[in-house]
Homo-oligomer: A and B are copies of this chain.
Amino acid sequence: MIFEEKTLSSERIYEGIILNLRRDKVTVRNGTSYREIVEHSGGAVAAAINDEGKIVLVKQFRKPVDCVVLEAPAGKIEKGEDPAETIYRELKEETGYTADSMEFMTAIKTSVGYTDETLYIYLAKGLVPGETDFDENEAIEVVEYDFEDAYSMVVKGEIRDAKTVVAILLAKNHLQNQ
């Protein structure tokens, strides 16, 4: 039987724009301990693959890792929004594409040791090009790779963003079985 930690008290440390931080005092097997917890509203992600078998990715500078990151299109779930709405909106905003087919593949917990963040991962197909609609603070470059090349980049460790790694590896499985 695995011990379940009960919350004895909770301290709000920070309330921010994209995250909050709290510190919970919890029961553990031999007494009490503290858990530092980042609250995040979660996001939606797409492995977006066009009719030529190319995957649509985006490049953007990410301050937390201080470099340009190659990523699957993704965005934060707005309050009250269904993740499927989020991914249609973000795919359109970031890449200009709308998708005829949006298949839910999985939902991942990004780092269960300290955050409640969940990312919903979709396979988008039947892509129809259109205008992009970047957020004013976003600075995004859209790039397309042959899907098999992107898959190789994941296996070689050249694509390292977790949501993008999962999106591409699971898309490989789904495409093989279709």
* Residues of A participating in the B interface, judged by any CB pair closer than 8 Å: 2-5, 7, 13-14, 16-19, 21, 23-24, 26, 28-30, 33-38, 40, 43, 59-65, 68-69, 71, 76, 105-117, 119, 136-137, 139-141, 154-155, 157, 160-163, 165-166, 169-170, 173
Contacts and interface: CB of A to CB of B under 8 A. Distances in A.
13 contacts: A7-B63, A13-B21, A14-B21, A16-B23, A19-B38, A26-B63, A30-B136, A33-B137, A37-B63, A38-B38, A62-B112, A64-B113, A162-B166
Instruction: Please give the count of copies of this chain that the complex contains.
Output: 2
Contact of A162 (B64, B65, B108): B108
A111 B166 CA distance: 12
Given A2-B60, A64-B112, A162-B166, 13 more contacts: A2-B61, A14-B36, A30-B137, A62-B112, A65-B116, A69-B112, A105-B157, A107-B157, A107-B160, A108-B162, A109-B160, A154-B170, A155-B170
